[in-house]
């Protein structure tokens, strides 16, 4: 109580109370969101330098606020046009993202519902729906019915969480046998593995051993066996890749699994981009052996048409992950003493958004057959593009595509030539294709994820290489 007025402090509820102002804010944002989600001609847009943005967008944070209309205009007219649209059909660099309309729309519901997705107690319905998706993925990949997992932020967090669980399992196994930890733990993977594997090793302070793949670009069982022999029982995990980022190549999962099972070493499969290809029946043979994985990841925000950011992390035995990741504190007793497995028990993050719900809604809306068809389209289009590249005398393939990534070269071009061409292509708003490299050679790389990407669009991109 104020000694002067006899009343309590004024309640600062302008941001939270349902008022005419709050209704206007929500209406403005929902109207903008609806228009953006339903764009038929998605803008590719272009980036801006920090200096350029500082000149036109500084000063937006003020004591009194700009008001929703001005703030939204600043975003829509100034900031958004400097953010590349990863759902544009011509966004062909890195790994694009092309969320379905249902997933994009439902992402709003997730935000508006203010769901905490870290525990069963607080988010039972959301966790149940997420688990439905995880169970479907596990079944498609041949994992046992007891498999389970969690949706985390992205492949980097997924790989790190899986490797933490793997090391914990190895450490517990050694202690049960009365053995000390090795001087340095070792994780074995392909030299073509995603950079997040090396990053996870650095965070965990373990050694990372990268094996050069065979001439086919794949890590094979014999190479893993040699590494295990060289490093002994210091190896706590082997990481195989189901769809490398640069080429979209699936490692010899069956051969690697045979070696890790015989040695009793944890097998983790990084399928952030490419594991979605296993949902296409014709591609299943390429993923033989995935059913033996102890853990795996696949990113729905890549080839499963969900919005950023979502990674499905699956464990063969979720209880192993629970022992490694459950956080203990007095204020968490209500959660940790419950028999329910909480999503936060299975990865390194405690606070989490229910980021699997947009994928659940999209799958429930369209059905799994639509997903298989959309993924298959990308694979078939990549093969058609590869044929077109091979037919052009000035272009040559680096390797035939296995999934939906096509890597090729413009004969006689230097890195500077590629960069200048890429900049012109983006400036003309035709497409976004940045150069890559392979074994020190500059190359071009087209990654196809979006079902709205057409052969005609990519053919125009190839034509521009001939006209430079």
* pLDDT of 5: 56
Tokens of 18: 């349902």
Q: Please classify residue 168 by burial: count the beta carbons closer than 10 Å to its beta carbon, then call 0-12 exposed, 13-18 middle and 19+ buried.
A: middle
Tokens of 343: 């999503």
* pLDDT of 333: 66
Tokens of 404: 């939906």
Tens digit of pLDDT per residue, the chain (468 long)?
444 555 677 778 788 888 989 999 999 999 999 999 999 899 999 999 999 999 999 999 999 999 999 999 999 999 999 999 999 999 999 999 999 999 999 999 999 999 999 999 899 999 999 999 999 999 999 999 999 999 999 999 999 999 999 999 999 999 999 999 999 999 999 999 999 999 999 999 999 999 999 999 999 999 999 999 999 999 999 999 999 999 999 999 999 999 999 999 999 999 999 999 999 999 999 999 999 999 999 999 999 999 999 999 999 999 999 999 988 776 676 777 777 789 999 999 989 999 999 999 999 999 999 999 999 999 999 999 999 999 999 999 999 999 999 999 999 999 999 999 999 999 999 999 999 999 999 999 999 999 999 999 999 999 999 865
CA dist 248 and 10 (Å) reads 59
* pLDDT of 216: 93
Tokens of 99: 């969320």
* pLDDT of 38: 94
Enter the pTM of the model.
0.94
CATH number corresponding to 368-466: 3.90.1150.170
Distances (CA, A) of 249 to 44, 52, 241, 243, 303: 28, 40, 8, 5, 15
Specify whether domain 105-366 bears CATH 3.30.750.24.
no
Q: What are phi and psi of 328, to 5 degrees?
A: -120, 130
Strands (E), 133-265: 148-152, 186-190, 207-211, 235-241
End-to-end Cα separation, the chain, in angstroms: 75
The kind and range of the H/E element at 240 are strand 235-241
The domain segmentation of the chain, as residue ranges, is: 20-83, 105-366, 368-466
Please list the alpha-helical segments (H only) found in 180-269: 195-204, 221-231, 253-263
* pLDDT of 6: 59
């Amino acid at each position: 109580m104020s000694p002067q007025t006899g009343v309590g402090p004024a309640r600062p509820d302008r941001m939270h109370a349902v008022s005419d102002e709050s209704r206007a804010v929500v209406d403005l944002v929902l109207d903008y969101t609806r228009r953006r989600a339903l764009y038929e001609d998605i803008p590719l847009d272009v980036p801006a330098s920090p200096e350029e943005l500082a000149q036109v967008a500084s000063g937006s944070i003020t004591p009194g606020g700009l008001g929703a209309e001005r703030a939204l205009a600043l975003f829509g007219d100034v900031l958004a046009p400097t953010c590349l649209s990863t759902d544009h059909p011509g966004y062909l660099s890195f790994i694009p993202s092309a969320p379905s309309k249902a997933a994009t729309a439902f992402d709003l519901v997730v935000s508006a519902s203010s769901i905490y997705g870290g525990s069963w107690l607080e988010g039972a319905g959301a966790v149940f729906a997420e688990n439905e998706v995880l169970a479907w993925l596990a079944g498609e990949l041949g994992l046992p019915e007891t498999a389970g997992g969690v949706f985390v932020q992205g492949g980097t967090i997924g790989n790190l969480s899986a490797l933490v669980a793997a090391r914990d399992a190895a450490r517990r196994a050694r202690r049960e046998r009365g053995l000390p930890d090795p001087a340095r733990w070792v994780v074995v993977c392909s030299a073509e593995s995603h950079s997040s594997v090396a990053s996870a090793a650095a965070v965990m302070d373990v050694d990372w051993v990268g094996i050069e793949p065979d001439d086919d670009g794949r890590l094979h069982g014999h190479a893993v066996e040699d590494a295990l022999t060289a490093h002994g029982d210091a190896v706590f995990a082997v990481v195989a890749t189901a769809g490398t980022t640069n080429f979209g190549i699936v490692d010899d999962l069956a051969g690697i699994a045979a070696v890790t099972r015989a040695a009793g070493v944890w097998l983790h499969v990084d399928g952030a981009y490419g594991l979605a290809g296993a949902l296409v029946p014709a591609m299943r043979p390429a993923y033989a052996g995935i059913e033996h994985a102890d853990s795996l990841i696949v990113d729905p925000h890549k080839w499963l048409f969900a919005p950023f950011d979502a990674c499905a992390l699956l464990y063969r035995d979720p209880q192993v992950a629970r022992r490694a990741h459950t956080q203990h504190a007095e204020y968490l007793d209500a959660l940790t003493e419950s028999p329910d497995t909480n999503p936060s028990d299975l990865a390194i993050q405690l606070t989490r958004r229910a980021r699997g719900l947009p994928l659940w809604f999209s799958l429930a809306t369209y059905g799994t057959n639509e997903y298989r068809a959309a993924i298959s389209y990308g694979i078939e289009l990549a093969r058609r593009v590869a044929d077109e590249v091979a037919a052009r005398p000035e272009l040559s393939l680096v390797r035939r595509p296995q999934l939906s990534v096509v890597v090729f070269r413009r004969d006689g071009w230097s890195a500077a030539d590629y960069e200048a061409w890429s900049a012109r292509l983006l400036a003309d708003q035709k497409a976004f294709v940045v150069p890559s490299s392979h074994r020190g050679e500059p190359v071009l790389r087209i990654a196809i994820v979006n079902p709205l990407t057409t052969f005609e669009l990519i053919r125009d991109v190839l034509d521009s290489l001939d006209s430079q």
